[in-house]
Amino acid sequence: MTTTTQQSSTDAHAGVDGEPGPDQIAPPPKYRRRPLLVIASVAAVALGALASVWAYQGASDANDVLAVRTTVERGQVIEPDDLMTVPMTIDPALHPLPASQLDVVVGKRAALDLVAGGVVTADQVTETALPAAGMSVVGLNLTASALPANQVRVGDRVRVVLTSDPVTGTGSTPEEPVAIDAEVAGSGIDDASGNTILNVQVAHDDAPLVADKAAAGQVAVVLDEPGDQE
C-alpha cells in the first residue's frame, strides 16, 4: 500500500514519458552576451544620427546657383539652354552667381570657356564681343615645338614670334625676330596632324602679317610672366 502511493507521487512529479510535471519549473535559458555586437549596434545608430544631421544641415545651407549645362566657348553668346540651376553649399572662394541672375547672364558672352558641369561666376561672363574693338582673331596651327607644352590657356597674354623660313633659313623677318603681343582666345587639337590650334587676338594692323606667317608655318608662341607685357 505504501509502495503504490510513493510510486503515484513520483509519477505525478515526473509527468508522462519523463517530461517535467506540473509541479516542476524549467530553469531559465542562459544567454551569451556579445559585447562587440552591442558596440557595433550602438555605433551604427550613432552614425545614422550624425548622417541625418549632416544631410539636414547641408540641405538647409544649400542655395540655387547657376551652372553650365552645355560647354560654351569663349566669345559665344550664352543661351538659356546653356545654363541650369543646381543647389549647392556656397564656397566663398568660388563666388558662383545665384539662380536669380539667369536673365542677366543670358545674352552676354562667355569671357572664358564655360565647361559643362561647372558653376558660373561673374568673371566668366562679359558684354564685350570677341574680337574687341580694334582687334582681330587669327588662328595658328602649331607643332609641339612651337609653344610651351600644356602651359597656354585661354585668356593668357602671349607673344607670337614670327620665325624665319624653316627650309631656307630666310624670310621676311629681320635678324631680330618680331614678337607681336596677343591674347589666347581659344584652343583645340587638329585631329589630322595632332597639332595645337590656337586662336589669338592681336591688334587689327598686326593681323595680316601674323596670318601670313601662320599660313607658312613660321610662327611660335611664347608665354611670359603676367607683368612682362604691362
In the chain, what are the domains?
Answer: 61-126 (3.90.1210.10), 135-229 (no CATH)
CA 65 to chain centre: 15
**Burial of residue 74, with CB atoms counted within 10 A of its CB: 0-12 exposed, 13-18 middle, 19 or more buried:** buried
- For the chain, percent of residues with pLDDT exceeding 70: 65
Proportion of the chain in helix, strand, coil states, percent, rounded to 5: 35, 30, 40
Q: At a CB cut-off of 8 Å and minimum separation 6, what does 102 contact?
A: 66, 80, 83, 85
Q: For residue 188, what pLDDT band results from cuts at 50, 70 and 90?
A: confident
- Tens digit of each residue's pLDDT (9 = 90 or more) over 87-120: 887 666 678 899 999 999 999 888 878 889 899 9
**What residues form DSSP beta bridges with 67?**
84, 119
DSSP for residue 183 = E
pTM above 0.85, yes or no: no
122 vs 136 pLDDT, higher one: 136
At residue 134, does pLDDT exceed 50? yes
Q: Which three cell numbers stand for residue 200?
A: 589669338
Q: For residue 229, what pLDDT band results from cuts at 50, 70 and 90?
A: low
What's the pLDDT score for residue 49? 64
The H or E element that residue 59 is part of is helix 35-61
Contact assessment for residue 69 and residue 116, using Cβ atoms and an 8 Å cutoff: yes
- Tens digit of each residue's pLDDT (9 = 90 or more) over 193-213: 889 999 899 999 999 999 999
Half-sphere exposure of 112 (CA within 13 A, CB side): 15
Q: Which residue in the block uniquely carries the three cell numbers 552614425?
A: 47
Q: For residue 167, what pLDDT band results from cuts at 50, 70 and 90?
A: low
At residue 132, does pLDDT exceed 60? yes
pLDDT, average across residues 26-41: 62
What's the pLDDT score for residue 50? 63
Question: What's the mean per-residue pLDDT of the chain?
Answer: 77
- Tens digit of each residue's pLDDT (9 = 90 or more) over 36-66: 666 767 667 667 666 665 555 555 567 889 9
Q: Which residue in the block uniquely carries the three cell numbers 586662336?
A: 199
